[in-house]
A and B are shown apart, each in its own frame.
Chain A
Amino acid sequence: MVRVKNPDEIAQMVRSTALENKRIFSIVAHIDHGKTTTTDYLLKRAGLMSPDAAGELLLTD
């Protein structure tokens, strides 16, 4: 589920120096192979965001 955290906590996680616990990655696919569905799914299942953004995500559903 979406993890809603306050902005300070998110800022702290981003600024964390524990780089081994970070991953920066992309998803690439042929058009229509399902990249959008997959990224949307990941965002809804594991997204980390502030209450404002989580509200916006709900609105787009």
Chain B
Amino acid sequence: MQLENSSSPTNCLHARAGRSSDEEERKRGITIFTSVALLSYDYQGQNYLFQLNDTPGHISFTGEVSRALRGSDGVVLLVDALEGVMTQTETNIRLAVGEERCKPVLFINKVDRLIKELRLTPKEVGKRLEQIAMDVNSLIKKYAPDTGWRVSFQDGTIAIGSAKHGWGFTIDILKEKGIDPKVIFEKYEKGEEKWLRENLPLDEPLLRMIVKHLPSPKEAQPEKIRRIWPGDQDSELGKAMRGIDPDGPLMAMITKLFIHPRTKRVVLIGRVFSGTLRAGEQVRLLTAKRLERVQRLGVMEITDILDIPEIPAGNLFALYGFHCPAGETIVAPDMEGVTPFVEIKYAAEPVVSIAIKPLNPQELDKLGKWVKLWVSADPTAQFRIDEETKEYILSGIDPLQLEILTKRINEMVRIKVSPPIIVYREVPTQRGMEVQTKSNNALNRIKIYVEPLDPVTVDLIRKGVITDKMDRKERAKILHEKAGWDSREARRIWLIYGTNILVDNTRGAQRLDRIKSYIESNFIDFCNGATLAREPTLGVKAVITDAVVHTDPAHTGYSEVRSMVMAALNISFLTARPRLYEPILRIDITTPIGTEGQVMSILNKKRATIKQIQHMEDLVRITGEIPAAETQDLVDLLRSATQGRCFWGYEPSGFRELPKAMQVDKIMEIRKRKGLPLELPQPKLYEKNLYPVEKWTGPSFEI
């Protein structure tokens, strides 16, 4: 893979990891561990079978994480004893415990570092561990208040230890073995880690916690079905799923795509909720609406499928034979029309993009195939083709995600990669003028205005409460009740695209339906690249208030519709006081006492806002927000200021208006990069399509 600017993606990687020493470990881990693994454990005379359902390690893949978790009933939360609860820990608890309702147990890892590196006393270690347990419990309570779930040392739902040194325990194991916890300190003092590994092996507490405290499919699935399947719970299918009936109707879900590192074959991972999946049989893909054949079926082993011809309800499976995005519902061929599982909600709002193209121009089609495949595996990534440069533009929620995506793609097709570019948003901040335009042939007219979508509606879209596909009446009811929409207008929504809405509020406009799809597709184009700098829009509500459509379809073609719709949208948008908004990251820094002053001064120079400063024994934790654009050299600055001793993580946290003084410069910078004229766009540019007079007489656009 060629990188035009090789330093930045590596920077991002370091930024994420906080330090690079574990990078090797991560690489090694990827080669050994895959996606699902079977484990076996004997406890009190019973043999238990575990299906360990791996989730992507990187938080960029929140979409992938949620889907993988949909296949699981319980979760082991793993927290570093030294770093404690960090931003991503919170995200993980929100996703796993809050949204996917996986019951938690806790493993506090790297306790060796408290003893060996920080040289804490047993009392101090105890205090540190108590604090982590409290922090975790308050997050569980915050995101799943109704469950009553909590973890505790006494109940044996918390294990502590060191995966690196292979030891760990829960309180009950320690009691059983009659070992005093002070022994751990003694053994480290004497350098006898081997004793710990042999006498307190880590698999025992982990597997025992899972057996004793995480639910079996039998306990967990009925509740899971109630949450992920909106169909009639008392129907035959509902009962079969809640009862995990292997003889019931087939109902399975694809939870992730696994691409074999060597053969590049795509294996679909999923869970059977009722009925039995069989190799060689045909299945129906409910969302894709097509039939496919299962060629191979079984469970994952390292990187290959171990063939098992029949997988009954209550199990994960691996199958080979066709491609589909994660989230797909798989049923028997004769089950057309049954209710699919609910879509997983995620807010994919790309904040960074890169352009890629094949080193060998003849491999453009081949590249397209792999881009589509990988992007379908990652629901928070998007792609489009730049028609002029023939480059694929990949967008995602952070630079490292794109780095991993391009690495995956580069394994299939050698590519050239541009440096990551921050994606801004164009946002209207007041209601724009109602603009009437005509098509180039002057035979059609339309009247449109653009205004900011209210924050409540934007939030409803982001949370997936209202979607483009949902029932129109139900959506209108929610918008009316929760966001105060006019009922008629709410029923007349044509399209929800991103966080933007197109409404047909015309009365008695004839033949408008004939050009509806053209108008929608132009609205989508506008939302993907608006007037200021062809950046995507955020929270645009465009309302069509009147239209005249020519009787002869020969005069209402795509380009005629486009000429009037684009002119109206652009002009109205320019009168809606549009501004650039920039992506903001939530940042979470833990740094040794004494270095926090330097860290704060760096953050201040980077336009960051500090939310909280928390003093722990020997560390200071600083949380706040920082513009994504300011994080480029942040790693290096923080490193040198703290001699590499600070840890940090970040995650996307929405958008904020770019300061006034930076607006015009940034718009020009983006326009220059995109080869657009280096001046602020003006309504006048579109005046030849104005109706009835082809002249813009309103104010010119300024910032």
Bound-state CA distance A50–B304 (Å) is: 11
Which chain A positions have C-beta within 8 A of B83?
30, 33
Which chain B positions have C-beta within 8 A of A29?
57, 77-80, 88-89, 92, 109
Which chain B positions have C-beta within 8 A of A16?
49
B306 on the A face (CB < 8 A) = yes
Question: Which B212-248 residues sit within 8 Å CB-CB of chain A?
Answer: 214-218, 244, 246
Which chain A positions have C-beta within 8 A of B31?
60
Pairs A-B, 8 closest by C-beta atoms:
A36-B29, A53-B301, A29-B78, A30-B88, A33-B80, A45-B203, A48-B40, A28-B92
Taking the closest CB of chain B, its distance from the CB of A40, in whole angstroms, is 5
B interface vs A, CB < 8 Å? 16-19, 22, 25-26, 28-33, 37-41, 46-55, 57-59, 65, 68-69, 71-80, 83, 86-89, 92, 95-96, 102, 107, 109-110, 163-164, 166, 201-203, 206-207, 210-211, 214-218, 244, 246, 271, 298-299, 301-304, 306-312, 314-316, 649
CB-nearest residue of chain A relative to B215? Answer: A23
Bound-state CA distance A60–B210 (Å) is: 27
B218, A19: Cβ atoms closer than 8 Å: yes
Bound-state CA distance A28–B74 (Å) is: 11
Bound-state CA distance A21–B22 (Å) is: 35
Which chain A positions have C-beta within 8 A of B206?
38, 42
B649, A30: Cβ atoms closer than 8 Å: yes
B163, A26: Cβ atoms closer than 8 Å: no
Known: A23-B210, A53-B302. A32 touches B75 (CB 8 A): no
Chain B contact residues: helix, strand, loop or mixed: mixed
A24, B301: Cβ atoms closer than 8 Å: no
B314, A19: Cβ atoms closer than 8 Å: yes
B29, A28: Cβ atoms closer than 8 Å: no
Known: A25-B52, A42-B39. A37 touches B29 (CB 8 A): yes
Which chain B positions have C-beta within 8 A of A46?
39-41, 50, 203, 207
B72, A25: Cβ atoms closer than 8 Å: yes
Taking the closest CB of chain A, its distance from the CB of B116, in whole angstroms, is 15
A interface vs B, CB < 8 Å? 3, 7, 10-11, 13-17, 19-43, 45-50, 52-53, 56-57, 60
Indicate which residue in A3, A10, A27, A56 contacts B302 across the interface (CB closer than 8 Å). A56
Taking the closest CB of chain B, its distance from the CB of A58, in whole angstroms, is 11
Taking the closest CB of chain A, its distance from the CB of B164, in whole angstroms, is 6
Indicate which residue in B48, B52, B55, B316 contacts A42 across the interface (CB closer than 8 Å). B52
A21, B49: Cβ atoms closer than 8 Å: yes
CB-nearest residue of chain B relative to A32? Answer: B22
Taking the closest CB of chain A, its distance from the CB of B296, in whole angstroms, is 13
Bound-state CA distance A49–B77 (Å) is: 25
B216, A20: Cβ atoms closer than 8 Å: yes
Bound-state CA distance A16–B69 (Å) is: 23
Which chain A positions have C-beta within 8 A of B17?
31-32
Indicate which residue in B49, B65, B164 contacts A34 across the interface (CB closer than 8 Å). B164
Which chain A positions have C-beta within 8 A of B25?
36-37
A41, B216: Cβ atoms closer than 8 Å: no
- Could you list some 9 contacts between A and B, CB below 8 A? A11-B306, A25-B74, A26-B55, A28-B96, A36-B25, A36-B26, A37-B163, A43-B32, A52-B301
B311, A14: Cβ atoms closer than 8 Å: yes
